[in-house]
Amino acid sequence: MANLQVFMLILIEVGSYGSLRFCAAHGSDSLLSNKHSEKTAEKTEGAWAWIDGSDHGNQKNKLHGIHDYPGSRFGASSWQDSDGIVWIYGGQKYGRNTPLDELWSLDVKNQDWNFHRFENKTTSKQQPPPCFGCASCHYGNRVVVFGLSSTFIFHMENENWTALRNLSVSPSPRSHSAYWCDSAKGILWLFGGQTSKEKFGDFWRFTFQEMQWIEVEPPSNTSVVPDKCSKASAWILSSGDLYMFGGSTHSGLTSNFWQFSPKSTEWTKLSGTTGLNNCAGKYGKMGITSKNNYPGCREGAATWVNEQGDLLMFGGSGFDNFSRGPFAEPGLLSDFWMFEMSSHQWVWIGGLSREEGVPVFGEKRKSDPHNIPGPRESPVSFSFANQLWLFGGAGHDVKQRDGILNDLWMYENVTENTPGDTLNISFGFRVLIALFVLTLVLVLSVCLCYSKECRVFRWRRGLRPVIKYKPVKVDMRQVQQPEVHPPLDEPPTM
């Protein structure tokens, strides 16, 4: 019996060791705090995938009826309906100074583009003019589009347009305002913008309920307000709070970072600088949040808000980590930043810290952490099912040439076990199974040894037991004794 106990003990030890390894594989606290268990924690990694469009710039529309695809453009305005359809209006093409009046929609789930012609549903007076850097916002089935002329309403159901020409007050015609769409409340917020002559610093609110613009005045003459600027990046949180970064002022690009609270109608300046000597960004280590980090001055960056309410920003035209001094020139950026709401700090989460960087397209439709969309400004950006999408803009193509783009990118944050982790789990399993089999074999052989007197084994283990078995006794009496014949020479007894 001693043999069996020893093996049971070994078995239990093997079992508990195996389960410890198993716990370590899940990244929970474990007694095995070695290098291996550090490596096995769950890891969240985001990666870009080049979904569609060309890796070369200055592309024409593809209009064949099937698999239509929009040509290159930048400065288009966009909105999203409740079915996950993204609509894109206007923008500008390569080599033309006149804006576009094209309306496209993208069914994001199926990556299916549609070109929407103005049909007879709308007279030419009712349809919006070509528009570059327009502001737009959707509410239910209606969309407001504001830009170079008047304010227009688009009905997504019927695809018809209406001009709102009898508005009592309205922002003056302009392009490249910062705008925020609160599609839950039906409010379009709009700050600044530009014409060819000037920049603006006025702040407006359009409500779908009243179909009216209202100018938002600061609550007192001592309130701080952002400078006049255009092409600033904008984010709106579900709380209704607005954020704005950078933009171009009369004195150059800025990295001014503002927050506006609709409740107090006050702006708060969170950080920021202006001027060539102060415009370089501070990147720190990629992926490490720090109060010392901040993006450089820029305009025309792409923006998103993630699930956690963090602000995300990609590229734009501006300054990298190096640009300093009187001769510093802005360049196209491909840096990817996150403003973490919980810590109120910036973190550089991807892309390059140098302007005018080389894009990395990778394989089409395949996420890869090494992929980097080309540097660009004024692309279209939108979120869909926790994915961040990016389309077009003015930037660099795969040949590093300046051009207008029509590439479509998707960034996804994937939480999964690292390859080392899965390997370790299966390794643990294999070890467990192998040890079980081994133990079984040993136990079986011990049993066999008991029945077959496996002495060698017992001698080796030094466990030679007191002999408990009964040696087979040969009953001598049962053995027939050979008859002893008297020698022949003995005289028979008569």
Ligand X SMILES: *[C@@H]1O[C@H](CO)[C@@H](O)[C@H](O)[C@H]1NC(C)=O
- Which residue in the set 111, 155, 207, 362 belongs to the binding site for ligand X (CB under 6 A)? 155
User: Least Å distance between CB 297 and ligand X?
Assistant: 14
Please say which residue, 413 or 439, places its beta carbon nearer to ligand X: 413
Q: Residue 94 interacts with ligand X (CB under 6 A)?
A: no
Q: Taking CB under 6 A as the rule, which mask of x and - marks residues 239-278 in contact with ligand X?
A: ----------------------------------------
Cα–Cα distance for residue pair 409/432, rounded to 1 Å: 44
Q: Residue 342 interacts with ligand X (CB under 6 A)?
A: no
Is the CB of residue 406 less than 8 Å from the CB of residue 69? yes
Is the CB of residue 384 less than 8 Å from the CB of residue 84? yes
Q: Taking CB under 6 A as the rule, which mask of x and - marks residues 378-417 in contact with ligand X?
A: -----------------------------------x----
Q: Residue 149 interacts with ligand X (CB under 6 A)?
A: no
Cα–Cα distance for residue pair 114/110, rounded to 1 Å: 12
Cα–Cα distance for residue pair 483/333, rounded to 1 Å: 117
Report residue 291 as tokens: 């109060």
Q: Which residues pair with 129 in a beta bridge?
A: none
- Which residue in the set 98, 120, 196, 481 belongs to the binding site for ligand X (CB under 6 A)? 120
User: Least Å distance between CB 371 and ligand X?
Assistant: 14
Report residue 245 as tokens: 């970064």
Q: State which amino acid sits at residue 232.
A: A
Helices (H), 351-418: none
- Which residue in the set 52, 182, 310, 377 belongs to the binding site for ligand X (CB under 6 A)? 310
Q: Number of residues in contact with ligand X, rule: CB under 6 A?
A: 25
Q: Which stretch binds ligand X (CB under 6 A): 155-163, 370-378, 424-432, 475-483?
A: 155-163
Q: Residue 345 interacts with ligand X (CB under 6 A)?
A: no
Q: Taking CB under 6 A as the rule, which mask of x and - marks residues 157-196 in contact with ligand X?
A: xx-x-x---xxx----------------------------
Concatenated DSSP letters of 407-462: EEEEEEEEEE--HHHHHHHHHHHHHHHHHHHHHHHHHHHHHHHHHHT-HHHHHHHT
- Parallel, antiparallel, or unpaired: how do β-strands 252-253 and 103-107 relate? unpaired
Tell me which H or E stretch contains 268.
Answer: strand 266-271
φ, ψ of residue 37 in degrees (nearest 5): -75, -25
Please say which residue, 271 or 387, places its beta carbon nearer to ligand X: 387
Q: Residue 43 interacts with ligand X (CB under 6 A)?
A: no
Q: Which residues bind ligand X (CB under 6 A)?
A: 44, 46, 119-121, 155, 157-158, 160, 162, 166-168, 221, 280, 306, 308, 310, 312, 321-322, 338, 349, 353, 413
